Amino acid sequence: MLETQAGADQPLGAYDIITRLAAADGRVAPPTVYRALDFLVGQSFAHRVYSKSVFVVCRAGDVPHHAALHLCRACGRVVEVPCDLLDHQVVARAVGASFSVETLAVEVRGPCDACSERARSGAAFSAAFAAKWRRPD
Ligand SMILES: [Zn+2]
Ligand SMILES: [Zn+2]
């Protein structure tokens, strides 16, 4: 399952995972996949991207942790970033309020570095093109 997911460069939905597993191993019962995903997320082997109902493989090792995820709105890549501030501040606040934390997700949306660079060079090209072909006043 993890290899199936790790083979993808984009986050995968549960349905995509079922489809890929079925292609590799024949029929896979969806409840099995959902149970396995719950287990993987619970053990921090994978993280759920709540806003998109997809999953990404955790790259941070095998210590249980909460993830902060950078979601690129242009190319769809999801990158996990270390964020122990979450545990120290957000979880501490919850514990202080006698609230039991089961899940905690931080999703930061925007263009990634590569997409920002593409947008910058695209804008520069457009400006140069417009300047070159501007009609004389
Ligand atoms: Zn992680
Ligand atoms: Zn991007």
Describe the crossing of helices 14-25 and 30-42 by its angle, rounded to 10 degrees.
120
Distance 46 CA to ligand 1 centre (A): 7
Distance 76 CA to ligand 1 centre (A): 18
Q: What is the pLDDT of residues 30-56, one digit of tens each?
A: 788 888 888 888 877 888 898 888 888
Distance 70 CA to ligand 2 centre (A): 10
Nearest-ligand number for the alpha carbon of 82: 1
Query: What beta strand segments (E) does 11-98 contain?
Result: 12-13, 46-49, 54-57, 68-72, 78-81
pTM value > 0.85: no
Nearest-ligand number for the alpha carbon of 70: 2
**CATH 3.30.1490.190 given to domain 2-132:** yes
Distance 111 CA to ligand 2 centre (A): 5
Nearest-ligand number for the alpha carbon of 114: 2
In this predicted structure, what is the pLDDT of residue 17? Answer: 76
Nearest-ligand number for the alpha carbon of 41: 1
In this predicted structure, what is the pLDDT of residue 8? Answer: 46
CA distance 106 to 100: 17
In this predicted structure, what is the pLDDT of residue 109? Answer: 93
Q: What is the pLDDT of residues 96-135, one digit of tens each?
A: 999 998 888 889 999 999 999 998 888 777 777 777 777 6
Domain residue ranges in the chain: 2-132
Residues, CB within 5 angstroms of ligand 1 (ion): 58, 60, 67, 80
Q: What is the pLDDT of residues 46-92, one digit of tens each?
A: 888 988 888 888 877 667 777 889 999 999 999 888 777 767 788 88
